[in-house]
Amino acid sequence: MSRYDYGGWQPYVPVAQRRATALLMMKELTKKGRNIQPVEISGRIIARSFWGKGWCEHLESFGDYRNRLPRGRTYARNGSVCHLGLKKGSAEAYVSGSEIYAIEITVDPLSKPKWNSLKKQCSGKIGSLFELLQGQLSDEVMGVVTHKKNGLFPLPGEISYHCSCPDGASMCKHIAAVIYGIGARLDDQPELLFLLRGVEHQELIDTAATANITGGKSRQNRRRTIASDSLADVFGVELDETPETPSRRRPKKTAEKVVKKAPKKKIAPFKPTPRTITQLRKKLKMTRAEFAQAASVSSQSIKNWEEATASLSLQPKSQSALNRLHQKAKDLKS
């Protein structure tokens, strides 16, 4: 009689057999309409990106997790996490072991004071959504978002979990595998970290634009009237002048010949690419620091834009600044 017959550990099941069983079960769930999302890791490195590595290294930095997480590394690497679904505040998964085990992980939402503090500290220091999700941030911003206690990553006390396996450990190897699986998933979908913490990543960028429009912290500053030229820059519209009241209308000039000014030739909006941004900066004979100041972004943002390997999708505020600099370069040339 085996140890399992007396309520001990279940017998060892070869990895190939486990995978075949898991594949059949996942196919059945797919037929029932479930969106099955396996965690696939190539090689021994589980996470390679800023956010994925940050997630794993953050949790490994805590004593309890550091001792328990290694049990799940092999399971994560060999494809045992056959499904991992992430949504606001939680994750559900199936892990292939001696059987197929169901795991539920709950992550507490980021508290409002912490989130407001993060937005304040990052205000005006992140140039685009691309930079944020790619982790192409300045050392200052990286230090803020990855802070061990006050950053975006959850503390151990903010994570709760459950596995259907018979292992009595507080964190079994199946749960550990799913936690590493989350790190691997953040490589491709870093926005899922913000979803887990119940916050909107766009707010880290929008805060800077809001601060520039409101103009200050006091109510008096927020209520100040913005000049017409400034409004045109902010909202991208031409504002008509306030019509004069009948009592203040100026008399029509009959004798004087009205000379119409030729309309100013409009220049097409600047198309930001790493190459065009570099060329524009050099045309203006500016260093990266000078160009960053003129564009109201950080020097790190300019460096990230010029060295990017993918297409750029900038915020309206940054695009507007580049349009103005593009116009300036055209004016200097003429």
Pairing of strands 81-87, 90-96: antiparallel
Residue 177, pLDDT score: 94
Among the listed residues 323, 271, 273, the one whose alpha carbon sits nearest the alpha carbon of residue 296? 323
State whether CATH 1.10.260.40 applies to domain 266-333. yes
Percent of the chain topping pLDDT 90: 31
Residue 5, pLDDT score: 44
Residue 264, pLDDT score: 54
Pairing of strands 100-107, 90-96: antiparallel
- Residue ranges in the chain modelled with pLDDT below 70: 1-13, 15, 206-267, 310-311, 334
Q: Say which residue the tokens 């690497």 belong to.
A: 77
Residue range(s) in the chain whose domain bears CATH number 1.10.260.40: 266-333
Residue 298, pLDDT score: 77
Q: How far apart are CA 17 and CA 22, in angstroms?
A: 9
Q: How far apart are the first and last CA of the chain?
A: 93
Could you report the per-residue pLDDT of 77-136, keeping only the tens digit for each? Answer: 988 999 999 999 999 999 998 889 999 999 999 999 999 999 999 888 887 888 888 888
* Burial class, 127, CB count within 10 angstroms (exposed 0-12 / middle 13-18 / buried 19+): buried
DSSP letter (8 states) at residue 316? H
Order of all β-strands in the sheet with 81-87: 81-87, 90-96, 100-107, 159-163
Count of beta carbons in the 10 Å neighbourhood of residue 324: 13
